[in-house]
Chains A and B, each alone.
Chain A
């Protein structure tokens, strides 16, 4: 049987998250930039720090809703789960942002294009508490 290495970012235990946002800054740093405009992972409190945090990142759906609502075929299914984005086909309609059930597609205001996780795992190495990990997509 052929072994495919299709990866995704998995949220292991969100209760370990302290809200430091190191993952968000890491994602942006992939481009050699500091800040948050281009990050594809997002951490926010669930109604104040006292209630803990939510981690929003693409979970590599097998049947991604974002693909279904993309009118130009810019977003396509990745084999085994998740999506790929072809910027050349994207018309910046924003359907994918509202179409993602878990709110894991973000918007790059400068490019005026969506920001979608590429499953590279760079963020994972900057999570000090093991909240997220890069794992193989099950059954892929």
Chain B
């Protein structure tokens, strides 16, 4: 039993020597609430300037925050690391059960360094850490099998998380992810490769503690209010019913859904792959992260016949979301939902990031279309729009690092285009492959200036959508300000660690009340200030590692295809970047080049 106002334990794991120790870092969590805020501090402490992201000394940081295990939808865990993909700040958030499991195991953070001689998996609970031999799990073609085996061997059923990598992570594909509870991910920026570089196959975490509150009665009251907001109002309806794929039709109708490597902004298969159609034809089960009544996890049941055996079928359960539909269906113009699901399934089993994989393959397909690469580079595979079987073969080769071309694809679209050409249609921002929105200037400005170059940093696309709905234009400087403010506030949510889907409920006032029942008094203004400070610290790390706003590359393609708000110009983007830089600079005293 712990008091909820105490979040202090950081577990340090040394994989080289198979040793672990725990430090009391109550100061850190008091100042920064946990999550992103604590993780960036730990990253700065543990990651020396210029560290090779795949070297033993490169750290993996996992952090939860004050609201995990206490309030609903505080279900996320933040991972920080140096990204092997961008060679700069790596940050990724996952749901599933890991956030609650870490908190219930009494931990605020985990820092993993070193490199094991043999493949290992870690078992972490309130008794400490065990280093288990994972040699037999290394190289398995299916990450879900790895999960099943660990499930059967280890304790903690129901209150544990099993984070694991697939072959892509083992083979150091630079955008390999970490999968948790089969269907949730630490995606983007290559945490899976960092696991692989350390011969770390999986981490099992479980715990079942109870936390006492300063104000038990107040706790139940605030909880009740939040729970009713999440379950009895329409606020979460879109995540709750169709899930994130409910975005497919509206984005397509608004000419904002990139297809064929953004040669188009509409997708011919949108109806067949819409949230509505996927639900009607394939939805087999819905699931939820721990302590989240919304249950946005949508799992398709796909019945596939064996081609060589009559009367033999397999039924695969495959999770789908908006972003994978964008990347692995729309971008590749796969109009068959069955084809998309089979490709999605392999991407999951291999442990690749769905978004980066789709964008890389879309670039490769356009290269083939334009004759920049041919069958001699692709090992005889003809990549053509819609041919999901060819794409399945290609992802096997990317994850297996089979041949020079696929090795280059495994290093991201920016790298691959630097070798083969086609930079003007290599869709990456700050080295991270493009998310599925082409809504206007704020969208792309958001990708460029976001600290992770992710749509989740500041949701610039939502600003475009809002302005479109209001029929309002805005100058780049105004957009930069809106993006900056949103990104600052998101640092608070990701420090607590609250799911961004809950942002409409967790307003500064509500967060302040939630914290007060745990005995932490911060008013909405304090919280906003903290958000700015955390963003500043993230940028300090970025600058230290060589990031520069001036060197950001604008992929020409995004300026060639109109958005619902007209053409995006490089000039406006540069102006927006300058404004964002100005806002940040005003608030950064040191570390700005």
* Residues in chain A within 8 A of chain B (CB atoms): 18-22, 25, 28-29, 31-38, 42-45, 47-52, 109-110, 126, 128-129
Q: Which residues of A contact B103 (CB under 8 A)?
A: 35
Q: Which residue of A lies closest to B292 (CB)?
A: A20
Asked if A21 and B290 make an inter-chain contact with CB atoms under 8 angstroms apart, the answer reads yes
Q: Are B227 and A22 in contact (CB under 8 A)?
A: yes
Chain B residues with CB under 8 A of A43: 158
Contact B4 A34 (CB under 8 A): yes
With A34-B69, A35-B69, A36-B104 already in contact, the answer to whether A29 and B223 are too (CB < 8 A) is yes
Tell me whether B210 is interfacial, beta carbon within 8 Å: yes
B63 within 8 A of A: no
29 contacts between A and B (CB under 8 A): A18-B287, A18-B288, A18-B295, A19-B287, A19-B288, A20-B288, A21-B100, A22-B227, A22-B291, A22-B293, A33-B1, A34-B211, A35-B69, A35-B103, A35-B211, A36-B69, A36-B159, A36-B210, A37-B1, A38-B210, A44-B158, A48-B151, A49-B183, A49-B297, A50-B285, A50-B317, A52-B285, A128-B231, A129-B295
Q: Tell me the minimal C-beta distance from A97 to chain B in angstroms.
A: 14
Residues of B contacting A34 in the complex (Cβ-Cβ under 8 angstroms): 4, 69-71, 210-211, 213, 219
Give min CB distance, B24 to chain A, whole Å.
Answer: 20
CB distance from B300 to the nearest CB of A (A): 10
The CA of A25 and the CA of B210, in the complex, are separated in Å by 10
A108 to B223, CA, bound (A): 23
A-contact 0/1 string along B299-340, CB 8 Å cutoff? 100000000000000000100000000000000000000000
**Interchain CB contact under 8 A, A36 and B289:** no
**Which A residues lie within 8 Å of B219 (CB)?**
29, 32, 34
Which residue in chain A gives the minimum CB-CB distance to B215?
Answer: A32
Q: Can you add 7 more A-B contacts, CB < 8 Å, to A20-B294, A50-B299?
A: A20-B290, A31-B210, A32-B217, A32-B219, A33-B210, A35-B70, A36-B209
- List, in ascending order, chain A residues with CB within 8 A of B529's CB: none
B208 partner, pick from A37, A44, A48, A49, beta carbons under 8 A: A37
Name the 7 nearest CB pairs between A and B, nearest first.
A32-B216, A44-B158, A50-B317, A37-B210, A20-B288, A18-B295, A35-B210
Complex contact A32–B292 (CB within 8 A): no
Can you name the residue of chain B whose Cβ is closest to the Cβ of A25?
Answer: B291
Chain B nearest CB, measured from A105 CB (Å):
15
A91 CB → nearest B CB, Å: 22
The CA-CA distance from A19 to B299 in the complex, in Å, is 13
- Which B131-187 residues sit within 8 Å CB-CB of chain A? 144, 147-148, 151, 157-159, 181-183
Q: Which residue of A lies closest to B156 (CB)?
A: A44
Instruction: Check if A33 sits within 8 Å of B216, measured CB to CB.
Output: yes
Shortest C-beta distance, B507 to chain A (Å), equals 21
Contact (Cβ within 8 A) A109 B148: no
Across-interface contacts of A19 in B (CB, < 8 A): 287-288, 290
Known contacts A20-B290, A32-B217, A32-B219, A49 near B182 by CB under 8 Å? yes
Cβ of B53 < 8 Å from any Cβ of A? no
